[in-house]
């Protein structure tokens, strides 16, 4: 609608959804937020984080931490989806 003023965030959100870019942007945000949301100890022990087809793939250098994160993987998915404001993740795999 010409002449109607909309908030920039709303315009960008609509553009990203309509252009198919929303999912890649949210996936990138998940990876960037991992250290901040998980804290310095987990961040130090994390070797890599990536999103592949809606699955968060996290490589951890500590077997004990790997086991601990495996137990809470569904909560991690929920927490990260909430942090980025979308349902970009459907699962989480904790790898050694």
Percent of the chain with pLDDT over 90: 70
What is the pTM assigned to this prediction?
0.79
* Residue 88: closest CA among 70, 80, 96: 80
For residue 16, pLDDT over 70 is answered with no
Residue-by-residue DSSP string for the chain: -TT----HHHHHHHHHHHHT-HHHHHHHHHHHHHHHHH-HHHHHHEEEEEEETTEEEEEES-HHHHHHHHHTHHHHHHHHHHHHTS---SEEEEE-
Instruction: Report d(CA 27, CA 94) in Å as an integer.
Output: 17
pLDDT for residue 3 is more than 80: no
Ordered structural domains, the chain, with CATH: 22-95 (3.30.300.20)
């Amino acid at each position: 609608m010409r002449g109607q003023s909309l908030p920039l965030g709303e315009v960008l959100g609509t553009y990203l959804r309509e252009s198919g870019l929303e999912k890649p942007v949210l996936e990138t945000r998940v990876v960037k937020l991992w250290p901040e949301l998980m804290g310095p100890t987990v961040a130090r022990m994390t070797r890599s984080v990536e999103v592949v087809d809606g699955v968060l793939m996290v490589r951890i250098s500590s077997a004990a931490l790997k086991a601990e994160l495996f137990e809470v993987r569904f909560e991690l998915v929920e927490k990260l989806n909430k942090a980025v404001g979308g349902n970009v993740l459907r699962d989480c795999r904790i790898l050694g």
